Structure 1
Amino acid sequence: ALTPGVERTITVIATETGKSPKTYTIYVTRLGTQATPTFNPPAGAVAFGTEVTISSAGADNIYYTTDGTTPTTSSTVYTVPVTINAEITLKALAVKAGWGDSDIGIAEYTQAASADLTSIVLSGSPTGFTFAPGTYTYSGVTVANGVASITVTPTGAGTITVEGTAVASGTASDPIALTPGVERTITVIATETGKSPKTYTIYVTRLGTQATPTFNPPAGAVAFGTEVTISSAGADNIYYTTDGTTPTTSSTVYTVP
């Protein structure tokens, strides 16, 4: 019996009566199985457009499929690298005359993601915004009422767009107008060639106008000695005058009725 890939020693001896023997030694190797095909780059996430080479040392031919089916000698013959333009399962069979067919080599390829941006900077001194490369949604970002527009400065690889317009890495976008009290959604997308995009969504609100102060009791005829309260929901401070002049932040601060 012969074992694939293992050299077997066979000894033949001829002996005539009274004479010394003649010994014949034969070394026989039953050929093994062709090496399983390998893939370069190996299975995993790649940029679409990547070319994959398939190899099996000494093979006469390599046959492959890209639809997940098992290749046979009737499948496509490998002659040039296989271009990956979609998510596929690549399978390959290597053959060599006199050798056993190889095991099936398998490599699954998916689309690699674009790299995260390394920075996004917003103008207008926003509150509630701190960039982190792996964070893609930013809610509750606010700017002061006096900030009528902001710019976005993204930094990273590939093609970057802000609100659909291409922006060079490290360069500010065009001004994005903000309406007081209205949340604005800003979208930043980074895409490297052949890779899936990374999308960052920033929700920004320009603060509105502080509510006009109200008086209780309201204006009108009252008994002298009546205490009037002044209120404006959420206000940090209320300033007032009693001489008919227009109050400013230098006027009296309202603290008690």
Structure 2
Amino acid sequence: MINIERKKQLDKLIGKIDLNLNKYYLLNIALTHPSYVFENGQKRDEHNQRLEFLGDAVVGLIVGEYLYKEYPNKTEGELTKIRAAVVCEASLARAANRLGLGPYLLMGKGEKLAGGSKRNSNLADAYESVVGALYLELGLDKIKDFTLKYIMPDIEKVISGDYGDYKTQLQEHLQKQQSVMIEYKIISEEGPDHDKEFKSGVFINEKLYATGKGKTKKEAEQKAAEASLRKMDILK
């Protein structure tokens, strides 16, 4: 059950969303971190991971359709590259911050004390989860403008040539050289299931070149790619 105080909080967010939403259940789940469920003994399906899975697909579709229609002269490869740079953890976390999702997140005490409401991985998951919840409640057509509104600054940034995607930058740099193979491997995992930290390694021609850590595998890979670019003096 959602108590009166929580409903008041969600009403404020619903006002920001401005989509005539009058249901709380899915929106509340979208903002519930797994650590909160584990700590409070709730059912495993009452956190946002399943909605995040759905929302990831919905955001990708909405951004993909927008790029297809707005940039008819770009090739399939260019559109794929742009979408990958936009629908990524850092970009989605910024979208969540623009919407102001952090204060609405429910999380366990440990996660909250560790700054979980400001962590990119949690914010990105929350944004995708909210989109997933709105999709189920309202349908695709009604949420397109909402979804694009908060991610549009990153779309415009990438279109201008600022990708901010270190894996793509590293791949493009290495492609200039012949017979170079690049691979990402998770070297280690630490922490409980709801608060893991991953360490990823960049292997160039099967040799470990650099490593990076993150709260998700994607974030760890990006950090490893960033470290590689800095080691190559491509990033300062």
Please give the TM-score of this superposition, normalised by the length of structure 2.
Answer: 0.19
Bigger proportion of residues as helix: 2
